[in-house]
Amino acid sequence: MLERKRAALRKALRTEFIRQRYHPEAAAVHRGPVFDVAMKRWDAMKATEHQYYYPTFKNMSLSFAISILPMILMSVFVVRRKVTKTHPRSIGFGPEPFF
């Protein structure tokens, strides 16, 4: 029942949008963009998103995994490579580097 109502509402909104957007007289008048309720709802949600945010363990772990963990892993990789490649050369073993 609810799905049918939503489908009917979607169809009505789509029809109204197409009617306003592609109306032949609208191009001559230059009324500007069509007011879309769904886009305004999306904009309002994005504008007030910070008001409804609350920190959780999942949020913090995701932030850590995206921002801090790659820096730590890259630093460890670079330092280990530097130690294994340059230390033997600095004490006299191995060929001199070309660059």
Q: What is the pLDDT of residues 55-88, one digit of tens each?
A: 999 999 999 999 999 999 999 999 888 877 777 7
Contacts of 77 (CB under 8 A, 6+ apart): none
As a whole number of angstroms, the distance between CA 47 and CA 21 comes to 26
Please state, as a whole number, how many other Cβ atoms lie within 10 Å of the Cβ of residue 17. 15
Per the confidence metrics, is the pTM higher than 0.95?
A: no
As a whole number of angstroms, the distance between CA 69 and CA 44 comes to 33
Q: What is the pLDDT of residues 33-54, one digit of tens each?
A: 777 788 899 999 999 998 988 8
> Under DSSP, is residue 10 helix (H, G, I), strand (E, B) or coil?
helix
Q: Where are the domains of the chain?
A: 1-53, 56-91
